[in-house]
Every structure is written in structure tokens, then in C-alpha cells.
Structure 1
Amino acid sequence: MATAPRPRTTTRDPEELAQRLTAWLGDRLPGAKVVDFRVPESNGMSSETLLFDIDHPEPPLRACALRLAADPAAYTIFPVYDLRRQYETMRDVARHTDLPVPRVLWLEEDPGPLGAPFFVMERVDGRVPPDVMPYTYEGNWLHSATDAERAALEESTVSLIARLHDQYPVPSPDRSRSALRAHVESQRDYYAWVVDGLPRSPLIERAFDHLTAHWPADEGPAVLNWGDARIGNIIYDGFAPAAVLDWEMAALAPREVDLGWTVYLHRFFQDLTVSFGQPGLPDFLRRDRIERRYAELTGHTPRDMEFYTLYAALRHAIVMLRVAYRQVHFKEVEVPENPDRMILHHDSLAAMVQGTYW
């Protein structure tokens, strides 16, 4: 089966970045040099991660990772990249919870040094379940693990999400404003930005209508949601979390927003794997087991999960549509007659809207 080329993730020159970073670092830590600078192949299409070491007699950190806002010239996936918000979220989560969040060191909001704002944090050693090819495919460390090892990773990951929701202090809520409605409205705004001047997606718009018609009767209290709550954003030491990464989608919302994302993002990879003729990992990160374990850990029984898994699939569809239009922009693909076909998981999203997926 032919597939479209993998979308490019950057338009930046790594050698130029290394030179500019060395100049910037020297102003903050006289005599310091950037060494072993590299761009990981696993970089996504949103903010970029750069890895380097600091050569200095007394560096505050030696092994570093740098989170760089998306290149404004590269048809960005999101309209805004608030690096201060990410930096402060990571700092505050580390301060108020026992989650293994990498230590943040420097925030640079001036786009001059590297072409966009960035922050520097500690680099944590370990391994990450791959996205390309997904960990549900054969030939990677997680797929090759035993059932007991994957169960341990699943358990520790659900525990991590539960602890974030329980431990992070949230200010007294404004009961006149629904955190969930604000969250969904922000996604409507994002969708409007994605399709501005381009073909709209009837499927995405039907999914929004379905959410409106099936709104939860009780949203419950808002907690801090990690936002991109999935195992691909965790560095594992063995099968235990060593570092929780990528906080750019963090927001106040019901607990189920994170849980729905965790459940569906695994299903996205699992469905894709099955469609290519492999069994995948059908007994891993199962919805029923995640819900049951989360309830045991927090005392909160997840509810309306069909709503929240649909919402996760919808949010992912908007991102996938933007990625597809980005490929069109770079002349990697052409727009099909039905724009819904540009959404990689259009069949599962349609089944959720119809109520037949689960």
C-alpha cells in the first residue's frame, strides 16, 4: 500500500542553530561551549527539541534539552507557541507534585538568538515508545516486552496521570464558567484557523455537533490536565516513568479530558497497525482497565468516556487536518475531492460520531 511521504518537521539548519546557541550560551555562562549538538530524528511537527551538552568547569546542567517554538516560516501546526506558559507549567508541576518533570533552567522569549523563543531544561536518559513506526508495530522495545512489563508501564503511567490530577493545587473554580466549554471553544477556534481559506471538514463539524448534543450532565471539577497525556511523551527508565515531557497543551479541564486522550491516542496507533495487517497490542492500555485503575487510585470513577474519547479523536483530527494542509503547502500531497480523507483516522472518528466504534 502506497503512503504519503513523512511530513517534514523543520526548515531550520542544524549547524546554524548550533552556532547561534553557542553565542547565546556564552552570554549567560561565560566560557561555556555547546558540544554534541544534535536534532533527534523523533522530532515532531510542533515545537522542536534540540539536544546538547555544556562544556564548562561548573555547568548548572551538563546534559541539556532545548524546547524551541515552531519555525514561523514552516506552516506551524498551532497558531501560538507560548514558551513561557510551558516553562512555568513544568516548573510549577515539579514544585507541587512528585511527577518526574525535567528541571527547567533558562527561558529565552526573544526570538532573535535562535529565530523563535525557547527554553533549556535537563536532559533525562531513558527510552520513549516510538511514534514512527508506532510502538504498536513489531520491532521496537515496547512491542518486544513481556505482558507483565507492559502492564507495569501501563500501571505507572495511569498512576502518574492520577497523581497530577490529585496533587496539583487548582484555584477555586469560577462556577459561572465551564472549564469544559472553554476547552471545546478553544478547539473550535483552532479548527476555524486550520480551515481558514481552505476546504472545511464535514466530519469534524459533525463531531462538534455530536458533542453539543451529548454534553455531560455533570462535568465535575476542573483539574490541571497534562494535555498531551500519552506514553510517547514519557521517557522511561526500564518500564517506570523517568521524565514527563511536552506540556504545551496543558489546561484546566475535567479529569476525563486527559483520560480520553490517553485512551484514544493508543487506539489511534492500534487501529492504524491493524489496518496494515499486524495484530498490534490489543490488550495494552485498554479503556476499561485505565478507567478502573484510575478510579482505584483517585476515588473518582471516570464518566461520560464515550464523549471524552470522541473529543480526543476530534482534537486529533484537527491536528491531522493541519498536518495534511501543511503537506499540501509544501507540495508533498494534493487535496482530495473529499477533505475528510485527509484525516488519517476518519473512519474511527466517523464510527464514534455514529455510536458504533466501541
Structure 2
Amino acid sequence: MSEQMRTSTRDLDELRQRVRTWLTGRVGEKVEISELERPSGNGMSSETLFFTAAWAGNTTKCVVRMAPAAEAVPIFPAYDLGGQFEVMRLARERAGVPAPRALWFEADPGPLGMPFFVMEREDGLVPADVMPYTFEGWLLEATPEQARRLQDETVAVLAALHQAPITAADVPFLGPGGLRRHVEEQRAYYAWAHGRTRIPVLEKAFGWLADHWPEKTGDDVLTWGDARPGNVMYRDFAPVAVLDWEMAALGPRELDLGWMIFLHRFFQDVAVIMGLPGMPDFMRRDDVCAKYRDLTGYEPRNMDFYEMYAALRHGIIMARVWQRRIHFGEQPMPADPDEMVMHRAAIEEMLLRT
């Protein structure tokens, strides 16, 4: 967990010149930009770059997001940058969610080699993935009251998003929605990500889901997708920027709740394996669901199912990350494919639920 995974094959100096040329044409003024920087500690899918742009007496701190180059072995098969841009705009304008202010979307691949968008950069703190926030850092060092405030405020982001007047007609690029379609797309993703390599623990999880399918699901809402503290920037333990919308979808509210609860369990389990106390009282299911119910009046249900589904989805991603590291010579292919799923023990424990 201590190594920073390679996420790009692009040259920053060349990109800086291309960004400056593009932005000069976009704003109609001569633009100067700072050196480009790649963030550390979080992010492994879309490529993210920071820079500051100055023109006509204005200075704006910016973030550019673009899909990874094909030779970088992308995590996902497709990156709808225009869709992400629109979801951020709707979340900010209609839900009051502090998504970054969406500045520009460029559909033409010419300027940087592929479509990209630029958003405004906020200042704040983000709980790290590497090293995980359950190992060290400002969130681990927070008082119980501060950690609970951060938890409740993050759940409030979901509540606001899910209750916003955003319909399928507003986000047609996300498709018709529905839990069944969501799971079918994950099956397709698993097949794409791993080809002929079968990962038994993940296939067992797909079978478990089929055997425990909910009798009823709530109405579809716009879900964030990658709902977790590691994708939020905080000041004074309150969200100021809600990041990473590439997994947004239409579906049941529990998709986001199950993901948020399980992803903390993932980082907590890693801390315990390493002999660290972690944050055992953070993002507990009962607390998260109770806060969500208080804010929305909606009672989350079938949470065993949605947490298993979150574990499965995360397993597909983590196994893809392992294959990416194999490609870059960072680790070997394991003899047992299940070893590519860091949390296989958690999934195996969850498979015993009836």
C-alpha cells in the first residue's frame, strides 16, 4: 500500500504547452499557466492534473481531467468526460452538492489527444487512499466528534443528491437505469477487464447476488457512484468539493450507501491486517443508514445485498488494478487469481450470509 501506482504515460511539459495553447484560444486572451502537477495519494482511473491559469488580470486554480491513454491500460473500458461534466453541473446547480464548478468541456480530441474537461480547484483536505486514512493522517487524528461530523456531512451529500429534481431525461447518457441493468453492466465490465482470466471469488459473488435479489427496490435516483470520503475535499470536517463522478448512474439509493459503507470497511480491514486500530467506529452501517433516514425519511433496505455488490464491484476494479501493475512490471501474476482481490477474505465472509 505504500507505493504510488503509475497512472500515466504522458509528458507533463508537452501537455503544459498544449493546455496553454488550447486555453488561450478558448478565452480569447493570452494565457499563462503554471507547471502541471499530478496529485498523489488518491486517484487511479481518469488522469488528473493541477495548474493555475492567469489571463486578463484573472487567476484561476484549475483541474483538468482526461481519460488515460490506451497504453496506460485503463481501469474502465470507456470514459464519458462530457457526461461527467454534465453530472457535476447538475449536482451543483440542482442538488446544492458542492461539486467543483465545471468550467469547460472539450469534445475535440485534437488539443490534448482526447476529450477532457476543466473544473475549478478548491482548497481543502482529502482523506488519502495511499497511505490509507485508516493508517495515518488528519482524519485518523480527529476527535470522535470531528469524525462524526465528517461522516454525517458526507451522508448529507448523498441525501441532497438523491432528493434533487434530476430525472432520466436530464441524464440520458446514463441510460434507462435500474438495478438489473446496473448488475448486467458489471458483468460486462468483469468480462472486459479480465478476459479469459476467471476470478472464482468474484463469480461466486455474482451467484450470491442472483440468489439474494431484492424483492423490491426503491425508485431510481442519480447516484454518485464512487461515494466515499476519499473522493471529497473537506474544510473544518465539512465537504467543500465532491469529486470523481465517473461511476455516476441511475439506480437505487442503496448503491451509494452500500459503496460508502463497504469502502470504509475495506480500508479498515487493511489497517487491522497491518496491526493498526484504524477507525472501527467510522461509517458503521447502522449509523450511516440512521442519518440518511433522518435526512430523507427513506429507510435503506437490503443492505447485505448492496454491500456485497459493492464488494464485488470493488473486487473487479482492484483485480484490474493488479493487471495494470503487471503490465508495468510492478508485480507478478499470482498463481491463484483470487489473490488479485485484496479483500477476498471479506467477500468470502459475506458469502456465508443467508
- TM-superposed deviation, 1:168: 3.6
Structure 1 match to 2:200: 202
Structure 1 match to 2:13: 15
Which of 162, 165, 180 is the aligned partner of 1:165?
Answer: 162
Structure 1 match to 2:148: 151
- TM-superposed deviation, 1:48: 1.5
Maintained 8 Å contact 2:186/2:313: yes
Structure 2 match to 1:117: 115
- TM-superposed deviation, 1:169: 2.4
CA shift digits 1:109-150 (9 cap, x unpaired): 222222221101111111101111111113x11111111111
Where does 1:44-59 land on structure 2 (aligned, <5 Å)? 44-59=43-58
Once residues 167 and 39 of structure 1 are traced to their aligned partners in structure 2, the CA distance between those partners, rounded to angstroms, is 33
- Secondary structure of the residue aligned to 2:73 is coil
Which stretch shows the higher mean deviation, 7-16 or 154-163?
7-16
CA shift digits 1:139-163 (9 cap, x unpaired): x111111111111111111111111
- TM-superposed deviation, 1:291: 0.8
Give the RMSD, CA atoms, in angstroms. 1.7
Maintained 8 Å contact 1:104/1:122: yes
Which stretch shows the higher mean deviation, 35-44 or 98-107?
35-44
Structure 1 match to 2:38: 39
- TM-superposed deviation, 1:11: 1.2
Structure 1 match to 2:337: 339
Once residues 55 and 241 of structure 2 are traced to their aligned partners in structure 1, the CA distance between those partners, rounded to angstroms, is 25
Maintained 8 Å contact 2:42/2:129: no
Which stretch shows the higher mean deviation, 158-167 or 30-39?
30-39
Structure 2: segments with no counterpart, 5+ residues:
none
Q: 1:52 to 1:178 in 2, by over 3 A?
A: closer
Where does 1:37-186 land on structure 2 (aligned, <5 Å)? 37-59=36-58, 62-138=60-136, 140-171=137-168, 179-186=178-185
Maintained 8 Å contact 1:5/1:332: no
- TM-superposed deviation, 1:4: 8.8
Which stretch shows the higher mean deviation, 90-99 or 141-150?
90-99
Once residues 274 and 302 of structure 2 are traced to their aligned partners in structure 1, the CA distance between those partners, rounded to angstroms, is 31
Number of residue-to-residue matches in the alignment: 348
Give the residue type in structure 2 aligned to 1:185: E
Q: 1:236 to 1:351 in 2, by over 3 A?
A: same
TM-score after normalising by structure 1:
0.93
Maintained 8 Å contact 2:64/2:116: yes
- Secondary structure of the residue aligned to 2:34 is strand
Once residues 154 and 165 of structure 1 are traced to their aligned partners in structure 2, the CA distance between those partners, rounded to angstroms, is 17
- TM-superposed deviation, 1:331: 2.1
Maintained 8 Å contact 1:10/1:45: no
- Secondary structure of the residue aligned to 1:114 is coil
Give the residue type in structure 1 aligned to 2:43: G
Once residues 6 and 342 of structure 1 are traced to their aligned partners in structure 2, the CA distance between those partners, rounded to angstroms, is 17
Structure 2 match to 1:218: 216
Maintained 8 Å contact 2:177/2:250: no
CA shift digits 1:148-185 (9 cap, x unpaired): 11111111111111111012422489xxx870000000
CA shift digits 1:6-30 (9 cap, x unpaired): 4311111111211111111121122
Once residues 36 and 62 of structure 1 are traced to their aligned partners in structure 2, the CA distance between those partners, rounded to angstroms, is 14
- Secondary structure of the residue aligned to 2:71 is coil
Maintained 8 Å contact 1:4/1:333: no
TM-score after normalising by structure 2:
0.94
Once residues 22 and 95 of structure 1 are traced to their aligned partners in structure 2, the CA distance between those partners, rounded to angstroms, is 29
Which of 226, 250, 259 is the aligned partner of 2:248?
Answer: 250
Structure 1: segments with no counterpart, 5+ residues:
none
Give the residue type in structure 2 aligned to 1:264: F
